[in-house]
Amino acid sequence: MAGQDARKALPEGLGTAVRESAGEIAALLRRGADMGLRVPGAQWSVGEAAAHLALANELMADIAAGHARSYGDGTPQSLAAANEQALAAFGERGAKPLAAMIVTQADACLTALEEGAAEETVLTPLGPMSPDVLGSYLLTHMLGHGYDLARALGRAHMIDRARAELTLPFLVTVMPRVTDTARTAGLSACYAIRLWGGTGFGVRVADGAVSVDTQPPARPDCTILIEPVTFVLMALGRRGQCSALARGRILVRGRRPWLAPRFPALFKAP
């Protein structure tokens, strides 16, 4: 069939960002990493975090290839339980084997996405997604755990402005699915979220539900301007709002600016 062998174009820069991030994480591990060190603020060791990342990359590669994989029900509790179950069944904690698996499975996921192996919608641990959003999910997940590994090992992390922008398709897709309904109850608000020097999106809260638009609204109640790396770290639960405000990484404007401090707490990082 004509065009059957054509490779599918991913969003510009995504493939490079995924491959470079996987390579940088692998380099962290291969540089004599102490796999027994604890990850700051987490219950995992470096070895466990790296094993989780290797398994997650394999999971996403399978999904991208069109294979059905069940992994929790999308809630933080079920994902945590699935993570622990997977780690218990997977004994590898060596730096070099895990580094190789992280790179190999990230590449396998990208190859499957580029070849269009999956249908137009795939079922992921955080619900249905387009293949392009799955690629953004892969990158976002690696950046979060890569950040953890870098902190544990005293190295520089790999999140930069360009990669932060590439996480948006995933983060915008999952925000309604990770809403903390106890925090949104009774709230009516329209937010514009703008990354410094880049793109933005809109979030509307009404009747306890959250809806997200890929474009900021024309007349928001509150506009939050945020430095891109800070946005990703806060979205993934790796950085708090207070430190970001103190460093001038967040600016707020609009007719209801007091809504800004409530925004991060509307969501639970999976």
Are 270 and 178 a contacting pair, CB within 8 Å?
yes
143-160: average pLDDT: 97
> How large is the C-alpha radius of gyration of the chain?
19
Alpha helices in the chain (DSSP H): 14-30, 46-64, 76-89, 95-114, 131-153, 161-166, 168-174, 181-184, 228-235, 241-246
Sign of the C-alpha dihedral computed for residues 128, 130, 131 and 136 taken in this order: negative
38-50: average pLDDT: 95
Q: What is the pLDDT of residue 149?
A: 98
The 10s digit of each residue's pLDDT in 222-269 is 999 999 999 999 999 999 998 898 899 999 999 999 999 999 999 988
Domains and CATH numbers, the chain: 14-163 (1.20.120.450), 179-266 (3.30.1050.10)
The 10s digit of each residue's pLDDT in 156-195 is 999 999 999 999 999 999 999 999 999 999 999 999 999 9
Contacts of 74 (CB under 8 A, 6+ apart): 125, 126, 127, 177, 270
89-115: average pLDDT: 97
Q: What is the pLDDT of residue 7?
A: 59
Average pLDDT, the chain: 93
Q: How far apart are the C-alpha atoms of 37 and 81, rounded to whole Å?
A: 22
Sign of the C-alpha dihedral computed for residues 43, 47, 51 and 53 taken in this order: positive
Q: How far apart are the C-alpha atoms of 264 and 237, rounded to whole Å?
A: 9
pTM of the shown model: 0.94
Q: What is the pLDDT of residue 4?
A: 43
Q: What is the pLDDT of residue 3?
A: 42
Q: What is the pLDDT of residue 88?
A: 96
Q: What is the pLDDT of residue 72?
A: 85
Q: Which residue has the higher pLDDT, 117 or 78?
A: 78
Q: Please report how the helices 95-114 and 46-64 are oriented relative to each other, as an axis angle in degrees rounded to 10.
A: 20
Q: What is the pLDDT of residue 237?
A: 92
Q: How far apart are the C-alpha atoms of 142 and 25, rounded to whole Å?
A: 8
